[in-house]
Homo-oligomer: A and B are copies of this chain.
Amino acid sequence: SQQIQFADDMQEFTKFPTKTGRRSLSRSISQSSTDSYSSAASYTDSSDDEVSPREKQQTNSKGSSNFCVKNIKQAEFGRREIEIAEQDMSALISLRKRAQGEKPLAGAKIVGCTHITAQTAVLIETLCALGAQCRWSACNIYSTQNEVAAALAEAGVAVFAWKGESEDDFWWCIDRCVNVDGWQANMILDDGGDLTHWVYKKYPSVFKKIRGIVEESVTGVHRLYQLSKAGKLCVPAMNVNDSVTKQKFDNLYCCRESILDGLKRTTDVMFGGKQVVVCGYGEVGKGCCAALKALGAIVYVTEIDPICALQACMDGFRVVKLSEVIRQVDVVITCTGNKNVVTREHLDRMKNSCIVCNMGHSNTEIDVVS
C-alpha cells in the first residue's frame, strides 16, 4: 500500500511527502510528466543543485547580500507569483492602503519563521510597508518556494530559506535571523515554536525584551502553554491558532479543497465510488469528509469524541472502528492529531494499492517507522 503525507495547515497547501514508497513515486511522476507546465519549473530545481546556498555568494540588484536563498536570479519570476497572490488577499492589500502613510509598525523589529510562499510573502511585505523591519526564515525544510524567497531578497527583506534545506541549515537560517550585529528583534512571528524556542534558549537577553509573540500552530501554542505553566513565559504571546478564522477557514474550508488537490496531484485517483475512511471528525476531518462525499466517495468516519461522532452521524457518515473497514477501503485519511492512528496491523490488513494519507499536523499519525 502507498503512504503519502501532507501537511496542510497553511493557505498555500504545502505538501511535503516523506518516505514515499516507489509505487506512489511512480504515480506522481506519471502525473507530472503529462503536465506540460511542469517542465518549465524544472530549471528552478535542477541547475546548480550541488552547491549549498550557504556557500554561494549572491547579491541583489541593489548590492545587498543580506539574505540566503537558492538563486537570486529567480526573483522576477517570484515577484509575479506574489502579485498573483495579492489579488486574492484583499484584506492585507487594503490594510496597506489605509495605513501605509502612518507607518504604525515603525520601530517594530520582527523576526519571523513561517512557510515561505507567495502568500506569506504578501504578509511580510505588508509588515514592511507598515514600517516594520523583518528578518525571516522557513519553519519547514521542504515548503519554501525558492523563487518567492528570491523575490523577497531582491525587495530587500532579509530572508534565509530554501527548499530542501538540511536540519542543520534549518537552525543556521533561524540563527542568521536572530543573531545580527546592531539589530535586535523585539517581536516574534512564529509557526511551530522553533524560532521562539531558539531565541528563548540561545538568546535569553533578547527574549526578555521581546514585546510580543504571535504563534499560529497547535504545536507552537502547546509549547508556549508549557513555558507559561513553568513560569518562564515572561513575554506576551498571542494564540492565533485558536482564532475562529484559523479553525474554520484554515482547517475546515482549506482542507475541504486541499484534500482533493493533494490526492489528485500525487495519485491521480478518481474519487467517485471509492470507499474512504477519515480518522477524526474535527474541523479538518469535517472538511475532508464534505469534499469527498460531494465527489461521490463512500465515506466512513472514526472518532472517539462522542459529540464529534454524533456530528459525523448526523452529517450522514457511518461511524466505525478503523479495523472494521480497513480491509475494504481504498483510501485512509488521518486527521486526529494523535500518534499511531494507523498501526502496523492496519497497514498489514489493507487492500493492495490502498492509499494512506496524513492530513494532520504531525507526521506521526501513521506508524511509518514500523
Contact = CB atoms under 8 A, between A and B. Distances in A.
A77 B26 contact: yes
Contacts of A307: 244-245, 248
A268 B264 CA distance: 13
B249 A295 contact: no
Interface stretch (A60-68, A142-150, A335-343, A362-370): A142-150
A17 B40 CA distance: 13
A272 B15 contact: no
B253 A30 contact: no
B35 A265 contact: yes
Interface centre among A16, A38, A40, A271 (most CB of B within 10 A): A38
Contacts of A295: 256-257, 260, 291, 294, 316
Given A15-B34, A32-B41, A117-B34, A296 B270 contact: no
Given A245-B307, A249-B310, A253-B272, A40 B29 contact: yes
A266 B29 contact: no
- Size band of the interface chain A makes with B: 35 or more
Contacts of A25: 37, 40
A179 interface: no
A272 B12 contact: no
Contact of A77 (B29, B266, B269): B29
Interface centre among A36, A87, A311 (most CB of B within 10 A): A36
A118 interface: yes
A145 B39 contact: no
Nearest to A271: B257
B46 A34 contact: no
A81 B81 CA distance: 32
A94 B45 CA distance: 43
A293 interface: yes
Given A273-B313, A296-B256, A28 B16 contact: no
Interface string A84-128: 100110000000000000000000000000000110000000000
A37 B41 contact: no
Contact of A294 (B38, B39, B42, B291): B291
A297 interface: yes
Contact of A41 (B29, B40, B117, B290): B29
Contacts of A213: none
Given A31-B41, A298-B316, 17 more contacts: A28-B41, A29-B37, A29-B77, A30-B147, A32-B35, A36-B142, A38-B42, A42-B45, A42-B46, A88-B269, A245-B310, A253-B314, A260-B260, A261-B264, A273-B316, A297-B316, A298-B318
Chain A to chain B: the 6 pairs with minimum beta-carbon distance, closest first: A294-B294, A42-B42, A28-B37, A32-B41, A272-B314, A273-B313
18 contacts: A12-B268, A17-B37, A29-B41, A33-B44, A33-B147, A36-B164, A39-B46, A42-B45, A87-B353, A245-B310, A257-B264, A257-B270, A260-B295, A261-B264, A264-B265, A293-B293, A295-B316, A299-B316
